[in-house]
Every structure is written in C-alpha cells, then in structure tokens.
Amino acid sequence: MPEFLNLLPPDAAIEAFLEAIPKDRNTTPEKVPTEDALDRILCETIAAPHPLPPFNRSTVDGYALRARDTFGANPGLPAYLTIVGEVEMGKPARHNLEASQAIVVHTGGMIPPDSDAVVMLEDTQWAREGEIEVLRAVAVGENILQEGEDVKTGDPIFQSGQRLRPQEIGGLMAFGVTHIQVARRPRVGILSTGDEVIPPGTTPQHGQVRDINSYTLSTLVARAGGEPIRLGIVSDRRQELEKAAKKAQQEDDILVVTAGSSVSARDITSDVIASLGTPGVLVHGVAIKPGKPTILAVVNGMPMIGLPGNPVSALISAGLFLVPMIHRLLGFERNALKASLSAELSVNIASQTGREDYLPVRVVNSAQGPIAEPVYGRSNLIFTLIRADGLVRIPAESTGLAAGTKVEVHLF
C-alpha cells in the first residue's frame, strides 16, 4: 500500500494534465464534405437558414380542407366536399380552396394556403364522381406538420465542439450544408523504446520481443479521433530518445512514449521530457493498477505522455489519459454519458485501498443475467485483454469486491 500513498489519484492527474494546456491550443479547423464527416468534431456554430419543414406538410394520405367545413360531421350526417384537384408531390400547392372544397394530398405533400386541416382517407368515402363524404369532424391543424415545427429560422442548430453522428450528417444535409469546418485530427506521435523491442515484421532472437504498443496505441488514437504517427522504435539510450522527441516536438500535436520496462529506462523518459521545455513533467506516477508509472507532461504547450512499456498497462493508461487529451485538442465537448454493462462479479476480488484498479473481465450470460469473470494474467500480458470484453473499475476507497456484487463493465 505505501507505494501508492504519494501518487496522484487518476481524476486529479487528468485534471492537472488538461488544465496545463493553453486555452487556445485546439487544433485548427479544416473544411470537409459533410458526407465524409461522420464522427468528426464540428468547428463552427450553424444557425438554421430556413425553417424545417420549409412548408406545411401533410402527415397522412387524405384530403386537405377547411376544418370548419367538417363541423359536426359523423357517419350518419357526413360533410359533403367537392374535390377540386390533387397536390402533386414535389410541386407547390397552388389551389385556392373555397367553402366545401377539398384537395387530394399525399403524405409529405404541401398543404394549400387556404387549407387548415387534412382528413385521412380512411375517414372518408366517395359520394359521387368529384365529391366525398367526410365521416368525422377534423380539428384545425389536424394531420398537418407546420412549417418550422422541427426548426425555426435562426435556431442555433449545431454547436462548435459537437461530434457528428449519422443524424447530424442528415440534419446538415436537410439545410443544404454540404461542406463544414471540422477540427483537424491531432497528430499523435508514438514512440516505442527498449533495446529488446523489434519491429513486428522481423524475427526475434532470444531476448527480443516484437513491438506491440505502437500498434495498440495507434489504433486507439485513430478510434479517439487522432491521427497516429508511428515514430518507430528507439533504444534505451538518452541521446536517441532525445533526438526522436525533439523531432516530434516540431511536427506533432501530442507525443506518446512507451518507456522501456526497467526503472532506469523510465527515468530516462522523464528526464528527456523535462529537458524539452516548461512546465515539463506534471505527474510522475498515478495511483492506478495497471498503469502506475504513467508520466504526464506539458512542454511549451504540447502534451507528452510516458506510458509503461507493458502492453496492458500502456493501453489502459492511454484510455484514461491520452484519449481525453485528444478530445481536448479537438475541442470536443464531451457529455459525460458513458454506456456500460451491468453484471455480477463471479468471484471475490481483493484490492488495495488508495489506488484505483482496472480489472479485465469476460462477460458470460447466465440464467441470472450477465456474469463478469476476471481474466487473470499475472503479468499483464496482451492476451489478457484479448480474452476480455471490458474493464471493471474498482474505486480507490474499496478493499475489494465480493462475489455477486453488481459491477459496471466498460466494454472495449
């Protein structure tokens, strides 16, 4: 337990990290076709240029009419109306309705100016050629979608900082907004360090392991809305790391270094980052497991993160600290909504107080509902996460969770 006592809790760490970024540090906007903007972050505020719908429309197939002409109508005493035409789809409704006249209208069709209601086809029958019986009274406005009912001219319909889902793409198109300003994806430089780390395409000799972190992190970055820039592998020598970090400082928006796994390799990462500018390292170690040796720094306005070399720790820690920083640079106004899956823990889990634990679990369906089974991996091996469906967060104040406890599984 003592090892976590002088470390920052994760919430305080992320807050210190985000707050050290200058207010104007957002990435610059770029103009893209709206149809290609799914999941991008909008960088402008848009007011409705016209009402939506742009004209009164029928919500049913039937007859547009004047409601007062159907007053008191019922099957025993129908109202008789003369059909004076049909509103063609996609054409303006030009007819002027006079007393006791009606016009055929289809769902979505425009309502003629003098008409104030629509009677459904089912509530009418033919009297004779050119005349219908209306079998019930209709109220003013009935079966009409009013001009501007969805959106009025000038309504602030889209805000800067919004993420664009399929419905926003459609809503923009409804107003003819075919090009928009979105936040440029922040360039996230990813550097793997370690004398034992080799590129995946090569065959390891005894003592060597293939690079995993460059790939788990670059895909995580892409998913979070960033542009991953794999900077390759550098050795544990200080000069090499310094040279690569300085290049990233020139070219990228965020730098991520997965440190070699030994204590000295981690110290080198921290030293190099500190030497690059101010304020430098803000957080050195966070009270979480896995992910404790995480380094959070801001160097001349640029965020830099040192992650543990272990692939599981690196990926979990990047989810906690790198993803929110990418969102911060995108200007993404996250609402705090997070979906999860409720499940029952299958076994007792011990946890130290003073640190937050992130436990990989597999979710199995049972007759009693979903069960969360911890995926054990003594030393945080990558297949621990491959066998898992998500993570369970065990709060810092908890000494553990009993079997049967309801937990929230945050699916990957």
Residues numbered 116-175 forming contacts with its own copies, rule: CB under 8 A: 145, 149-151, 157, 165-171, 173-175
Q: Which is nearer to its own copies, 102 or 276 (CB)?
A: 102
Site string for its own copies, 372-401 (x = CB under 8 A): -----xxx-xxxxxx--x------------
The nearest distance, CB 300 to its own copies, in angstroms, is 29
User: Between vectors from CA 283 to CA 277 and to CA 284, what angle results, nearest 5°?
Assistant: 100
User: By the 8 A CB rule, do 302 and 249 touch?
Assistant: yes
Q: How far apart are CA 259 and CA 304, in angstroms?
A: 12
The nearest distance, CB 317 to its own copies, in angstroms, is 13
Q: How far apart are CA 30 and CA 17, in angstroms?
A: 26
User: By the 8 A CB rule, do 56 and 146 touch?
Assistant: yes
Choose, by CB under 8 A, the member of 44, 88, 131, 271 that binds its own copies: 88
Q: Which is nearer to its own copies, 76 or 176 (CB)?
A: 176
What is the residue type of 362? R
Choose, by CB under 8 A, the member of 127, 215, 240, 324 that binds its own copies: 215
Choose, by CB under 8 A, the member of 6, 278, 365, 399 that binds its own copies: 365
Please tell me whether residue 225 binds its own copies under the rule CB under 8 A: no
**Which whole-number Å values give the CA distances from 189 to 192, 257, 265, 321, 346, in the listed order?**
10, 8, 19, 15, 40
Of 67-75, 201-209, 296-304, 396-404, the window that binds its own copies (rule: CB under 8 A) is 201-209
Number of residues this chain uses to bind its own copies (CB under 8 A): 102
Please tell me whether residue 220 binds its own copies under the rule CB under 8 A: yes
Q: How far apart are CA 61 and CA 191, in angstroms?
A: 63
User: By the 8 A CB rule, do 220 and 305 touch?
Assistant: no
The nearest distance, CB 196 to its own copies, in angstroms, is 4
Q: How far apart are CA 303 and CA 310, in angstroms?
A: 21
Q: How far apart are CA 64 and CA 106, in angstroms?
A: 9
Q: Which is nearer to its own copies, 72 or 90 (CB)?
A: 90
What kind and span of H or E run contains 266? Answer: helix 263-275
Of 16-24, 237-245, 325-333, 404-412, the window that binds its own copies (rule: CB under 8 A) is 404-412
Of 12, 43, 8, nearest to 27 by C-alpha is 43
Q: Which is nearer to its own copies, 249 or 405 (CB)?
A: 405
Subset of 259-288 contacting its own copies (CB under 8 A)? 260-265
Please tell me whether residue 213 binds its own copies under the rule CB under 8 A: yes
Site string for its own copies, 310-339 (x = CB under 8 A): -x---x-------------------xxxxx
**Which whole-number Å values give the CA distances from 234 to 196, 199, 265, 266, 390, in the listed order?**
10, 11, 11, 13, 31
Choose, by CB under 8 A, the member of 21, 51, 55, 100 that binds its own copies: 55
Of 63, 61, 57, nearest to 106 by C-alpha is 61
The nearest distance, CB 318 to its own copies, in angstroms, is 9
Work out whether the CA dihedral 23, 26, 30, 34 comes out positive or negative. negative
The nearest distance, CB 328 to its own copies, in angstroms, is 20
Please tell me whether residue 369 binds its own copies under the rule CB under 8 A: no
Q: How many CB atoms lie within 10 A of CB 72?
A: 8
